Amino acid sequence: MGALGALIRRDLALALRLGGGGGIAVAFFVLTIVLVPLGIGRDAAVLARVAGGMLWIAALLAALLSLDRLFQADYEDGTLDQLMLAPVALEQVVLAKALAHWLTTGLPMTVIAPGLGSMLGLPVAVLPILALAMVAGTPALSLIGAIGAAVTVGVRRGGLMLSILVLPLYIPTLIFGARAVGNALVDLSPWPAMGLLGAVTLFAAALAPFAAAAALRINTR
């Protein structure tokens, strides 16, 4: 555990430095949501109806923003070679990096989301559901993103390709996440959608470490 703890701490330290990407992703998330009323208008009923979907779309894009450096930076400076030689399974390295990515993007977005939701006119009763949906859903963004980042490592301008690869895979999280909030808004049960949202995250957690590690092995040969 010491090795993985050190890896997570290192990634957190790098992400929190200027230009590390963590803060930028969260700022992007906030700015996108602030733009929504400017684009859609001040009608509170309309804003509340689109709030869930907008928050989730902004979260997907913000998570994508910092993903392209997830393995690329380590690949470029030789760190990835050393990690492959280290007495730590590459699958564990992927999991540690995805966790660090979530801690610097998904978690702060989860904390901010209820505030932004109320700004868009979501009723107070819906805000806990929104926060819970973010907790259940955003880890999948980091985990699925890790697969895309591993597949595009070593590709020039891989960030663009990464977006095209990963965004379609985010669709289940987007649908169930927005549905959970939307259902709560019209007094329907949010729990079926919430359960599926968690299921997507668990599935991603089971699959991503192996898929990303396999992609990294192929790409570094």
Partner 1 sequence: MDLHIDQLACRRAGRQIFHGLEFALGAGQAAAVRGPNGAGKSTLLRVIAGLLPAAGGDVRLGEMSLGADRSLFQEHLAYAGHLDAVKTALTVRDNLAIWAAINGGDTARAGAALARFGLARIAARLVAECAAGQRRRLGLARLLVAEKPLWLLDEPTVSLDGDARALVAAVVREHLAAGGLALIATHEDLGLGPLPVLEIDPASAGTAIAGAADPFLEGTW
Length of the chain: 221
Applying CB under 8 A, among 12, 14, 112, 167 the residue interacting with partner 1 is 14
Amino acid at 55: L
Confirm or reject binding of residue 84 to partner 1 (CB under 8 A): yes
Pairwise CA distance, residues 174 & 160, whole Å: 20
Confirm or reject binding of residue 21 to partner 1 (CB under 8 A): no
Confirm or reject binding of residue 210 to partner 1 (CB under 8 A): no
Confirm or reject binding of residue 32 to partner 1 (CB under 8 A): no
Answer yes or no: are the C-beta atoms of 90 and 1 closer than 8 Å.
Answer: no
Answer yes or no: are the C-beta atoms of 144 and 166 closer than 8 Å.
Answer: yes
Could you identify the residue written with the tokens 């396999």?
Answer: 214
Pairwise CA distance, residues 51 & 100, whole Å: 27
Eight-class DSSP state of 190: -
Closest CA relative to residue 51, chosen from 143, 124, 104, 145: 124
Q: Which is nearer to partner 1, 14 or 40 (CB)?
A: 14
Confirm or reject binding of residue 118 to partner 1 (CB under 8 A): no
Nearest approach in angstroms of CB 176 to partner 1 is 36
Give the other-Cβ count within 10 Å of 27's Cβ.
13
Q: Which is nearer to partner 1, 85 or 124 (CB)?
A: 85
Confirm or reject binding of residue 79 to partner 1 (CB under 8 A): yes
Confirm or reject binding of residue 7 to partner 1 (CB under 8 A): yes
Q: Which is nearer to partner 1, 17 or 188 (CB)?
A: 17
Confirm or reject binding of residue 17 to partner 1 (CB under 8 A): yes
Stretch that binds partner 1, among 61-69, 70-78, 126-134, 143-151 (CB under 8 A): 70-78
Token pair listed for 74? 């380590």
Nearest approach in angstroms of CB 99 to partner 1 is 16
Cα R_g (the chain), whole angstroms: 18
Pairwise CA distance, residues 86 & 13, whole Å: 20
Nearest approach in angstroms of CB 84 to partner 1 is 6
Answer yes or no: are the C-beta atoms of 204 and 214 closer than 8 Å.
Answer: no
Nearest approach in angstroms of CB 106 to partner 1 is 22
Stretch that binds partner 1, among 7-15, 98-106, 109-117, 206-214 (CB under 8 A): 7-15
Binding residues for partner 1 (CB under 8 A): 2-3, 5-7, 9-10, 13-14, 17, 20, 76-79, 81-88, 218, 220-221
